[in-house]
Amino acid sequence: MLFASCAFVPAKVVKLAGLGDSRTARNTLYSQAKLLFDLKGEKDVLAKAQGAVLLTYQSSSIELHSGSVWLTIAIQNAMIYGAHSYNRDNETNNEPNLRNTKKRLWWSILLRDRILPLGLRRHLQITPQNFNLSLDCFTEDDLEDEIHHSQVYNPETKRLLARVLYIQCKLAIVLTGVIMLVYSPNGFGQPIFMNEDAFLRTVSELEDVRANLAQWSNDAKAILGSILHSDKVHESVALYSGLTFLYYHAARLALCHFEALTIEVHQVYIQESHNKLLERIRDELENAASCITNSVKGFLTRGIARHLPISAIAYTALPLLLNALDVKLSSSTSQTATRQRRFRYYAEIMQLYRDRYDGTDGVAVFIQQALKFADNLNISIMFQQTQCGANASESYGWPEMFTSEPRLYLRLSLTLDYAFTRGYFPKDADLPALIRELDVKNLAKYSPEIPLMLEDPELPAPPTKQDADHEMRDIPETEEQQNQEQEVQQVEQEQPERFTVPSAGTPSPSLDPIPTSSPGNPTLFDFHGMVEPYYVGQNQSPISAQLPVPFQDHSISSAYHFQTLDNAYPDYFSFGDTTPESLGMDQETNYHSDRMTGLGSNTKLGCSDEITLWTDSMLNEILGA
């Protein structure tokens, strides 16, 4: 329990306990708990099962999947205890307290066996083939005895938490179908080519799973009602309801990726409807990713992001990658500024992860390597050129990249999936043949002689202070900034950006290896020898753990007036389906200062101690500047 809870203890308390910082405390307490288990210090199978469930929250850069190992141990001990048959055991049914204990243990394990595989892109350990999953969910009645005796929550909050737990159990049942369809127990690979009948059956199964997810969403919103949009409920209710919908939207993303890969493999059956299918999948992807961004904003503005569990890192990694791609694909200064502000939500939450969880740096490496591949193909030049004949004012980002080059998009997303599945970044041969066999020669025709990089982006300086009271409004807020953006757009219309289109004989740029870590890039210094080379140019030898170039602090443009905390980000804590336009747009809501987190600052992060800021250098580090 000390290990599982220490990440949420204020830094001052951790220091007073002599454990250094939160990351050191987690590692120390985990080692002690593991030693107790290895030395067989506990004999009771119930205690061992419960302890193993808590240790499923362990993950580090060295042991990314240790949580899955502890889950296996928890399942084994729970089966010895008879928890898996709590609803069929006559002896248990005659003892309500024993039945409740077994039910609580088994559902705790079931929830972990859905949350971990969905985040780590792995198969289930508890499947319908081996276990009876026709179980009654954990309900408010199962917690009735403790609702009025909690020393932490009042009865109303306790009942709301029980309601959230109930919809989590319902989601776990639906996720069974999602994970079994999307993540094969045979490992990571390309779907086997099927005959037309088998393909149609797979499509039908996919639609059934999608319908089940949609039905769960409707039911969950009806059960939770107004608490989804209220800032008056207890923070724990907001946190766990938000997390539950975060899992739901992540499942939607996974289902879309599986569907896109499946139809790319079987294009021969759907040639006439292929483009329409891609557009529908794109809309679903965009909506799900936007909802996750929406949730991240909500966690930050409520000041509860510091309580996110370690599994949340895996669920926000892909949206972070997509937002970074959007910044790279920006075609104007104003568009870049808007997308960078959205990217800062993820930068702030990554900093909170990094302060507490050892595995965060490894995830940052995965994202950087995926973006490095995109840079080597110069996707920003490529896709801006494809829009030269179109309306120059149209926004272009990763959704448009998905519809125009779906296999390139799948390569980037599945590369991240592989890294989570295996715990290391893939080599070219590790990826499915379909996305490995991109027409790179055709893509390379877009490449200029000098690769386009985000060199010296003038990111806005993070705010450094906040007043006692303030209003939170949408961005841009000040008349000065509005006038500035109008001037920028007018200049861009008068002098449109020019892109050099190389001739057919222009050679593509060499794929230089990424320089190793240095004192200028200390964040990733510990990852030497851990990352496999991903893309090696001609006449280059693979170099392990080649990390992005060191970064220098970039000067901040005096012409850019960034919003202070007085005109900060809106609290938009709705976890329902949204579109990109709904991400804080048209929201004018006032909040007191104690209900928000200063984005980019070290204030209101949940503890009195100052922490290391996620600086502009760190943003550039992720973006690959």
For 493-524, the pLDDT digits (tens) are 544 443 333 334 444 333 333 333 333 333 33
Taking 50 as the threshold, does the pLDDT of residue 364 lie above it? yes
Q: How far is it, in rounded angstroms, from Cα 214 to Cα 620? A: 37
Name the more confident of 496 and 16.
16
The three-state secondary structure class of 205 is: helix
- Give the tens place of pLDDT for each residue, 541-562: 333 333 333 333 333 333 333 3
Query: Is residue 404 pLDDT above 70, yes or no?
Result: yes
Mark out the alpha helices in 225-332 (DSSP H runs). 235-265, 274-302, 312-328
Question: What is the H or E stretch that residue 417 is in?
Answer: helix 406-422
Q: Highest-confidence range of 80-94, 357-371, 463-477, by mean pLDDT?
A: 357-371
Q: Is 348 exposed, middle or buried (0-12, 13-18, 19+ CB in 10 A)?
A: buried
CB 604 within 8 A of CB 597: yes
The residues near 356 (Cβ < 8 Å, ≥ 6 apart) are 7, 22, 23, 26, 306, 310
Return the percent helix, strand and coil in the chain, to nearest 5.
60, 0, 40
As given in the structure block, the two tokens for residue 115 are 């949350």
Q: What is the pLDDT of residue 490?
A: 56
The whole-number pLDDT of residue 551 equals 31
Cα torsion 207, 208, 210, 211 to 10°: value is 120
Look-up of token digits 């960078």: 340
